[in-house]
Structure 1
């Protein structure tokens, strides 16, 4: 495998999604030389690639000067529970500043005249989700980064953090995919911001034959988490799984954008929140009653989104929102099928086990436990606020990385042992014969999905099931060492699979450590929720003996 000459910067950002571009912009604003390593093209990549329409935001003039009610509503929502409270408070302090940035840059934050809070809401409660038009957000953020002199390396997926003998960050490795055969690219950097997104494709899709039909971006697979772990950073909450909901078999998320009522086949409402379509609230049943879909299906009952009583004006508003959320393919399909929202109901389903609920453990400055390493957005395991979290902690990470880099010198990362080891190991993927004697990335991707879904999924977990599943996973891991690729695309998928197997292993160890049932972590051998474990997170980090599992208190 050939190598490009090393590049050099102050701040290397891994991932050109919302969090990554916000980090790059913030670091550049503070005088840092920034390089963004992006797997695809930053104009349409990551979870915000095709748009979003909700931003969790505290605005004093809307919510009042005291944010406590806002924080309470935030923590009781679908994104609450596993957030460190010091991070929550910093988020609340700064999120509106990021909304004002986006508004000034041209993202439609006030598309209908003023700040508008609709959806993801309980009747009679404070509304905390700002409705916005995010269809073109990624091209806008890319433009803003380039205006500030940020170098964006499209088709350069990040692969590894390089640390020096002192344990501090010295740079990173990405892969140049711009030609038919990939090349290794080392980037010397004084700090690294990890923003490679969520853990998708680790668990199987509800349509197992279509491994990329995921609720989240299927190219976000856990690269940053895996690289952070190998560099010595602590991960947290990997025992938890994520869940979305949306049209059955169309696995794109966006349930809060729909203006309808979750109903049975006869149109009878299933949840307690609304009985008629409400633009103001949506139907929160899909957020807070996550077992609704599996429970009803187990009773032989499908679940539908019923928009039959929607007003014409609200129907237009819903279609506008779904377009900005990125559900264009679903809308096009319904139109082609002659679907009438006022006559027909849409069958909905859960997107169970689509992702892990945890990630990299960060502090209030977005710093990891490795000096010079930062993380933001879906990459983190102790704070979640979706697009708002990516924007706000992306900005915080960029500021922190730029400040950390001041006064430091770049080192020859390409000469460090980690670079030579990575090159030797991954060159073999291209050197092996591309025939039936070596497993393909697709075979192993399906294999890890099957094992994770069957033995560490959200429905039934037990010590014996997880021990058995971990045994299968480790057996299959040996096949990862035999993967082959004949071009850049296949090579990229091979290193994704390598990281997925590692993340699956860490998820098994973390889930076995939590000997109780809590939220989406359901242990049939420990069916109770242990109050002694309230406000405690499972941690995992690398040691000389392998993965080391532990506990820490949730920050107050």
Structure 2
């Protein structure tokens, strides 16, 4: 058995050191609560915001005027979409301006061009809702502030399971990967925040199949928090409504709104109807609304689709190059510089990337608490509200405040004696102690292939009951094979093996929810149910795992 080398008591455990996790730690620290933050990598550079961001979704009355609902309507029309609870979306907007001012005060430049400028991700002639900022140092600033307020940061600790006792959170089981030889860490706590980011590595890379880590976001983010919430009994929403992202072909990167150009077919015809001459205020929003067109153009032979930046003003070009750094696209910019690529002369092909889960996961309230008491979720894994880095910061902050203002519950007793924790320790120990076996990477590639082939996502990639049932059977078979055959030679491989089992849980949940949703809506396109069903129009399909099985429900989306 892998040894338990640390047992810790904490008022507040944070799983994941990205934007949401660090925001929660800072809020708790300012209120006098010392958080324990467990990060599988290193908080200095982890999560989807590790290199930076340059768009912050927010409402500022001095810019937008007094009508916040006007901005809420624009939010629902944007790439963020309308698959949210209206009251949470409105609450997020109400709090977003406060976060902008905090970040600026802390040293993250929210006014890189002299004042609050809103541009990008915008329709011509409509309100602009994305604040342009310089986030290249956001992780350094947030990490430093959290540590200064007393947060106990434990890097190289990957959480394997959330312990629940008597219907309430009791702590977490973590794997210490700081050395080759693994060990367990138990943290007893009545409050746990899951802030593990979006889900990658679940589907084949569109442009480089087999290269698991060529992903739009941090490839270490595999939806662990969604799997932990599911296992703990929390209710999930939106799991079957998946989508892809758009960006440069092969050099997979997010940040499409940082580019100032027009998407065009090879004959020079603009792809969308919105702009013909781009400016830094209003680039081409087509990719936000119609990501499937990039794949369709390849299938029908009209493509590829390129982004043409040749018409932009010199001032806007310099602005774009500067914003590449703010967004964290430094490797892309370095590559272009090294190979003499000039966007004023060279068009760049854009493609639709594989599905990465963003806006699917645990249902939360305004305090970021899930349906399991003491279990919170914030960031890209939130199921019923979305707003990218801005929403991660807001709901992380609200979670930290909620924990600090709540009743001080005593940590649970010996969580190692809980059956779920004991079984987890025995299971992961067996993978490490196995003499021979298959590597985790083979299992991850097989999983991504099954999901891509049988539970597909996107325009033109249709689902059916027979195909998804077959895929679900293959996922079960793969889980059995992984349980019997995966071998982890060291702590790092054991962490990756654990991620495979988390991805298997998420893949199964998507398949079961997609089978349950007997209609076509958004990117959930079913050949056997080709029409929308009105009962889903303003409702969430909810899913929870109870006694080893899934329980589904429908609930109305709350209005603002």
Out of 298, 303, 306, the position equivalent to 2:308 is: 306
Residues in 1 aligned to 2:544 and 2:376: alpha-carbon distance in whole angstroms? 16
Residues in 1 aligned to 2:43 and 2:339: alpha-carbon distance in whole angstroms? 33
Q: Which residue of 1 aligns with 2:37?
A: 36
1:349 is aligned to 2:351? yes
Q: Which residue of 1 aligns with 2:449?
A: 450
Q: Which residue of 1 aligns with 2:141?
A: 140
List aligned pairs for 1:82-93, cutoff 5 A: 82-93=83-94
Deviation track 1:20-79 (CA, whole Å, cap 9, x = no partner) reads 000111112222121000011101000100111100010001111120110000011011
1:103 is aligned to 2:123? no
Q: Which residue of 1 aligns with 2:55?
A: 54
Point out 4+ residue stretches in structure 1 off by more than 6 angstroms.
none
1:12 is aligned to 2:13? yes
List aligned pairs for 1:479-490, cutoff 5 A: 479-481=481-483, 482-490=485-493
Q: CA deviation at 1:550?
A: 2.0
Deviation track 1:444-474 (CA, whole Å, cap 9, x = no partner) reads 0000000001111111111111011111111
Which of 422-431 and 544-553 deviates more? 544-553
Residues in 2 aligned to 1:325 and 1:542: alpha-carbon distance in whole angstroms? 38
Q: Which residue of 1 aligns with 2:131?
A: 130
Any conservation in 1 of the 2:6–2:184 contact (CA below 8 Å)? no
Deviation track 1:247-294 (CA, whole Å, cap 9, x = no partner) reads 001111111110000001132211111001211011100001222212
Any conservation in 2 of the 1:455–1:469 contact (CA below 8 Å)? yes
Q: 5+ residue gaps in structure 2?
A: none
Residues in 1 aligned to 2:133 and 2:494: alpha-carbon distance in whole angstroms? 38
When normalised by structure 1's length, the TM-score is 0.97
Residues in 2 aligned to 1:259 and 1:330: alpha-carbon distance in whole angstroms? 15
Any conservation in 2 of the 1:204–1:354 contact (CA below 8 Å)? no
Any conservation in 2 of the 1:368–1:374 contact (CA below 8 Å)? yes
Residues in 1 aligned to 2:18 and 2:407: alpha-carbon distance in whole angstroms? 22
Q: CA deviation at 1:516?
A: 1.2
List aligned pairs for 1:276-291, cutoff 5 A: 276-291=277-292
When normalised by structure 2's length, the TM-score is 0.97
Q: 1:411 to 1:101 in 2, by over 3 A?
A: farther
Deviation track 1:320-355 (CA, whole Å, cap 9, x = no partner) reads 111211112222222222212122110000113233
RMSD of aligned alpha carbons? 1.2
Any conservation in 2 of the 1:201–1:355 contact (CA below 8 Å)? no
Residues in 2 aligned to 1:326 and 1:545: alpha-carbon distance in whole angstroms? 42
Residues in 1 aligned to 2:434 and 2:248: alpha-carbon distance in whole angstroms? 42
Could you say what secondary structure the match of 1:286 adopts? helix
Any conservation in 1 of the 2:357–2:381 contact (CA below 8 Å)? no
Residues in 2 aligned to 1:355 and 1:204: alpha-carbon distance in whole angstroms? 13
Residues in 1 aligned to 2:82 and 2:443: alpha-carbon distance in whole angstroms? 33
Q: Which residue of 1 aligns with 2:203?
A: 203
Q: CA deviation at 1:410?
A: 4.6
Total equivalences in the alignment: 552
1:335 is aligned to 2:337? yes
Q: CA deviation at 1:403?
A: 2.7
Residues in 1 aligned to 2:428 and 2:157: alpha-carbon distance in whole angstroms? 15
Residues in 2 aligned to 1:395 and 1:199: alpha-carbon distance in whole angstroms? 22
Which of 537-546 and 303-312 deviates more? 537-546
Residues in 1 aligned to 2:199 and 2:117: alpha-carbon distance in whole angstroms? 31
Q: Which residue of 2 aligns with 1:320?
A: 322
Q: CA deviation at 1:413?
A: 2.4
Residues in 2 aligned to 1:89 and 1:408: alpha-carbon distance in whole angstroms? 34
1:470 is aligned to 2:480? no
Out of 356, 370, 377, the position equivalent to 1:368 is: 370
Could you say what secondary structure the match of 1:44 adopts? coil
Q: CA deviation at 1:244?
A: 1.0
Q: 5+ residue gaps in structure 1?
A: none
Q: CA deviation at 1:549?
A: 2.0
Residues in 2 aligned to 1:80 and 1:268: alpha-carbon distance in whole angstroms? 27
Any conservation in 2 of the 1:211–1:446 contact (CA below 8 Å)? yes
